[in-house]
Structure 1
């Protein structure tokens, strides 16, 4: 199950990054042209219902290739990295011997270059 959750979230961040590089905003729930809200919605939609169970918006970091924070998923031609810290509860007592704590913590990321939007 832990592998499934990690792979699903990796796919979700990749899909969100693919959407972000286009500069589109059509998925903004408020239809106000907010690119960040639209990318977040794509991430949530692609996570197969896992987003709220494994992470929060506070755990999403968008940086450039040097690791500096980027606002609004960057501008045209800019390379952006989307990192998401996640955790999944460990239910099997035998796994706690291998993994510290009660949660499997992992990070998923995607790096893309914005198109000329």
Structure 2
């Protein structure tokens, strides 16, 4: 899991709220991680918008919301296995390629696990 805090554009004024995403993979061209989300408009989504450089970054085009990377975390007591680690199978040229592996663009989660 990657954890981000809400902040202002400077990254100095960190707020108590934030965001968590599951790390799904990595984009080769941007050297950027892909986050797997499930609460964006009742959809499962993949997003390359997460930046892991430790500086504040905008989460929308209007630059009204900023986040800052806080770290990678795992549940207490969970032992990381080799298959948990990212490898060449988790690297994608584009977000479209990553979505193809999921065999869907997004999934409606508002009615449980059934997809559209």
- The answer to whether the superposition gives a TM-score over 0.5 is no
Q: Calculate the TM-score normalised by the size of structure 2.
A: 0.26
More helix by share: 1
Q: Calculate the TM-score normalised by the size of structure 1.
A: 0.26
